[in-house]
């Protein structure tokens, strides 16, 4: 047997395992079961790929996402691994060839869709073959909260009965304890050792800003920080997706729309361009993203507020799977809060369901308004604790000034009360600021004791107060009455003077104050970097595979930093295994050499 470390170094070209990987790999090599919970980008694939190569026989990987199998298999073949897949997209002749290869012991890894695996014919075939291990990817699909693919996944418990001697590994990025327990019970994994990684994604920088002029804010963000990067921009509605994509195209970006209303062929062509071309921006509804494991998504931007923290974490988690710096960027404002609250009130479902939805939205709003570390709050929400502020979120980088908003909040609440809880924000602000106009006179609001008591604050400041009161659950918006604000029980303490309230000071942040951050370390030569990217792009194009299957950005960075001059030095770069060294070494060495000649000339 070759040692796991040797396989990691020669096939994958990585110098060392990550801490948890090593233990998981050893467990499987020893023939035992494992349950692995790791965040996206944590490195789950190596946990089964390495032992499958170390152990005799073929590793069987069960994965529900047919669209991804091809890329995974392409990536493995690039490494010189004998990999194949079986799913409904194959014609029967190709499927037969794959099955034959399995029977002849000519495969190291075989990806199979769950519904295919549980067919009797397939099980018989497996019974006759030499199996190294079973890897059950996206194992949360067995859970009743996993909804998709559940029926097929539930049948996977038969693996244990039919193949008692073959080690199994179940993997998921879904954290919560209920799902974890269900995986163990449903898949008969009581005896499996549990490996649980923290859910932190330290390379993602979380930023949530006040929505002022969202398009301009997005444009500034893209120009300053991601002029040539791939990323995702999430919008709530299909219409907004299309408008935003069009507008970004006009601004010179390679932007594509994606939502469930587009024809399937167009959707899949856009998805494939996102994976294969450099620097595509996908503008999408939440319909986009499931199972996208493009490693070099450098930013996820939200132009609308996600409904829950779970959704926010999942969507932003698509950034930076390769571990390099990435941004999660969101703008939100009072209108978002009102709109979402109203949509929920209006939705189908029991009162209890609505209440639960409102609570989850409240948690999301709490995250937006928080004045302490965002990452601590996020991880705390998922039951993980981060002892120190992270230093890589907006509130850590630029501490939020607060002010004592108790008095202003009381004025605002009293304006709501005295006008009969029948008016929206704009009118209430006019009352507070003592604006004399027709509507005010029509309702005799100039006679109220609250009229004009709030002249010290301007329009923006009042909107900020109202937004924070709605976000904090002191006020709620009434759909029937066009967003009229109503008092909630929570107000009592404030109105009675028993409670004080610290509010965020919303200051317009100038674009220039955000430091520009390139994914490149400073010492890297941009000219060389671009030339290497171009080399990778053209190699990928000739072979019809995504550029990251050839080398990840991290490996290109390593080239810039190490400047290898010969094939042996090239082979020592992170992410360069023996096969890629031999296949691509010369092409990239030539680019490096040309660059060095030019810069010394
Ligand atoms: P997951 O499936 O958990 O989201 P992947 O298996 O796709 O994560 O791995 C994420 C990234 O980390 C990939 O780019 C992978 O090549 C890289 N990676 C994984 N393990 C290592 C390692 N030991 N050394 C260096 N890079 C690694
Ligand atoms: Zn922080």
Domain ranges of the chain: 4-196, 204-397, 402-504, 526-600
**Range in 223-237, 422-436, 479-493 the model is least confident about:** 479-493
Give the C-alpha separation, 303 to 241, whole Å: 10
- Beta bridge partners, 321, equal none
Across the chain, mean pLDDT equals: 90
Q: Is the pLDDT of residue 517 over 60?
A: no
The pLDDT, as a whole number, for residue 175 is 61
The pick from 7, 22, 46, 47 for probing ligand 1's pocket by mutation, whose C-beta has the most ligand atoms within 8 angstroms, reads 46
Nearest to 8 by CA among 46, 43, 48, 42: 46
For range 159-165, the mean pLDDT: 93
The pLDDT, as a whole number, for residue 99 is 96
Tell the residue nearest (CA) to atom 23 of ligand 1. 17
Please list, in sequence order, all residues whose beta carbon lies within 8 angstroms of the beta carbon of residue 344, skipping any fewer than 6 positions away.
307, 354, 357, 358, 361
Tell the residue nearest (CA) to atom 10 of ligand 1. 41
How many angstroms does the Cα of residue 439 sit away from the middle of ligand 1?
A: 61
Residue 481 has a CB neighbour count (10 Å cut-off) of 13
> 522 falls in which pLDDT band (50, 70, 90)?
low
Tell me, using a 6 A CB cutoff, whether residue 554 lines ligand 1. no
How many angstroms does the Cα of residue 378 sit away from the middle of ligand 2?
A: 10
Quick one: which atom of ligand 1 is closest to the CA of 12? 16
> 154 falls in which pLDDT band (50, 70, 90)?
confident
CATH of the structural domain 526-600, one choice from 2.60.40.10, 3.40.50.720, 3.30.365.10, 1.10.150.80: 1.10.150.80
Give the DSSP H or E segment for 560. Answer: helix 553-562
The pLDDT, as a whole number, for residue 514 is 46
For range 180-192, the mean pLDDT: 91
Which of 38-52, 171-185, 285-299 holds the top average pLDDT?
38-52
Collapsed DSSP state (helix, strand, coil) of residue 398: coil
How many angstroms does the Cα of residue 201 sit away from the middle of ligand 1?
A: 13
How many angstroms does the Cα of residue 390 sit away from the middle of ligand 2?
A: 4
Tell me, using a 6 A CB cutoff, whether residue 293 lines ligand 1. yes
Quick one: which atom of ligand 1 is closest to the CA of 17? 23
pLDDT top residue among 483 and 126:
126
The pLDDT, as a whole number, for residue 40 is 82
526-600 has the same fold as 4-196: no
- pLDDT tens profile 334-363: 888 888 877 777 777 788 778 778 888 888
Which of 163-177, 190-204, 573-587 holds the top average pLDDT?
573-587
Decide: 219 and 251 in contact? Cβ < 8 Å: yes
Domain over 204-397 is classified CATH 3.40.50.970: no
For range 440-444, the mean pLDDT: 94
Domain over 4-196 is classified CATH 3.40.50.300: yes
Q: Can you name the CATH fold of 402-504? A: Arc Repressor Mutant, subunit A (1.10.10)
Could you give the percent of the chain with pLDDT greater than 70? 95
Q: Is the pLDDT of residue 149 over 70?
A: no
For range 588-595, the mean pLDDT: 94
Task: Give the helix ranges, DSSP H, for 120-191.
Answer: 120-128, 150-154, 158-162, 177-186
pLDDT top residue among 537 and 476:
537
The pLDDT, as a whole number, for residue 244 is 98
Tell me, using a 6 A CB cutoff, whether residue 22 lines ligand 1. no
pLDDT top residue among 188 and 41:
188
The pick from 43, 169, 292 for probing ligand 1's pocket by mutation, whose C-beta has the most ligand atoms within 8 angstroms, reads 43
Q: What distance lies between CA 26 and its chain's CA centroid? A: 29
Q: Is the pLDDT of residue 512 over 70?
A: no
Tell me, using a 6 A CB cutoff, whether residue 42 lines ligand 1. yes
Give the C-alpha separation, 31 to 102, whole Å: 20
> 326 falls in which pLDDT band (50, 70, 90)?
very high
Ligand nearest to the CA of 576: 1
Please list, in sequence order, all residues whose beta carbon lies within 8 angstroms of the beta carbon of residue 458, skipping any fewer than 6 positions away.
433
The pLDDT, as a whole number, for residue 358 is 80
Q: Is the pLDDT of residue 508 over 70?
A: no
Tell me, using a 6 A CB cutoff, whether residue 44 lines ligand 1. yes
């Amino acid at each position: 047997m070759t040692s796991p470390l040797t396989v990691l170094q020669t096939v994958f070209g990585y110098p060392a395992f990550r801490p948890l990987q090593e233990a998981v790999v050893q467990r499987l090599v020893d023939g035992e079961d494992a349950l692995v919970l790791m965040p996206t980008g944590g490195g789950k694939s190596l946990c089964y790929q390495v032992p499958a190569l170390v152990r005799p026989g073929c590793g069987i990987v069960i994965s529900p996402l047919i669209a991804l199998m091809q890329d995974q298999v392409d990536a493995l073949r690039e490494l010189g691994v004998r990999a194949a897949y079986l799913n409904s997209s194959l014609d029967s002749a190709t499927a037969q060839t794959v099955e034959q290869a399995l029977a002849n012991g000519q495969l190291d890894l075989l990806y199979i869709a769950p519904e295919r695996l549980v067919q009797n014919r397939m099980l018989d075939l497996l019974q006759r073959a030499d199996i190294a291990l079973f890897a059950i990817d996206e194992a949360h699909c067995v859970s009743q909260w996993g909804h998709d693919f559940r029926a097929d996944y539930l049948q996977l418990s038969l693996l244990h009965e039919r193949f008692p001697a073959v080690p199994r590994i179940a993997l998921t990025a879904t954290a919560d304890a209920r799902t974890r327990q269900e995986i163990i019970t449903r898949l008969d994994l009581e005896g499996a050792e549990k490996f649980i990684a923290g859910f932190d994604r330290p390379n993602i920088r979380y930023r949530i800003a006040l929505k002022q002029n969202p398009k301009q804010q997005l444009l500034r963000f893209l120009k300053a920080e991601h002029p040539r990067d791939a990323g995702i921009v999430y919008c709530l509605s299909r219409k907004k997706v299309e408008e935003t994509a069009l507008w970004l195209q006009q601004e010179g970006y390679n932007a594509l729309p994606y939502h469930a209303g587009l024809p399937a062929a167009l959707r899949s062509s856009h998805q494939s361009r996102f994976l294969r071309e450099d620097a595509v921006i996908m503008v999408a509804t939440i319909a986009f993203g499931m199972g996208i494991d493009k490693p070099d998504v450098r930013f996820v931007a939200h132009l609308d507020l996600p409904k829950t923290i779970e959704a926010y974490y999942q969507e932003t988690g698509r950034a930076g799977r390769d571990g390099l710096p990435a941004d999660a960027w969101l703008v939100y404002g009072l209108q978002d809060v009102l709109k979402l609250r109203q949509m929920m009130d209006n939705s189908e479902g029991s009162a209890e369901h609505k209440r639960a939805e409102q609570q989850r939205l409240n948690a999301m709003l709490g995250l937006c308004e928080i004045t302490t570390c965002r990452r601590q709050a996020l991880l705390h929400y998922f039951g993980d604790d981060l002892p120190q502020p992270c230093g890589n979120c907006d509130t850590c980088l630029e501490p939020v000034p607060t002010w004592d908003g108790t008095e202003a909040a009381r004025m605002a609440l009293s304006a709501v009360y005295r006008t009969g809880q029948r008016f929206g924000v704009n009118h209430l602000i006019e009352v507070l600021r003592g604006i004399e106009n027709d509507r005010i006179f029509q309702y005799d609001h100039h006679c109220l004791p609250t009229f004009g008591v709030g002249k010290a604050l301007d329009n923006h400041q009042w909107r900020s107060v109202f937004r924070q009161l709605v976000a904090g659950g002191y006020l709620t918006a009434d759909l029937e009455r066009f967003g009229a604000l109503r008092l909630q029980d929570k107000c009592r303490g404030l109105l009675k003077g028993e409670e004080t309230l610290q509010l965020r000071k919303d200051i317009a942040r100038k674009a220039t104050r955000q430091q520009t951050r390139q994914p490149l370390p400073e010492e890297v030569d941009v000219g060389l970097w671009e030339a290497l990217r171009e080399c990778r792009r053209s190699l990928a194009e000739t072979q019809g595979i995504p550029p990251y299957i050839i080398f990840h950005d991290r490996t290109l960075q390593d080239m810039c930093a190490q400047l290898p001059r010969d094939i042996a030095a090239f082979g020592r770069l992170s992410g360069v295994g023996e096969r890629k060294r031999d296949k691509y070494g010369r092409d990239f060495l030539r680019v490096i050499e040309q660059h060095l000649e030019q810069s010394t000339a």
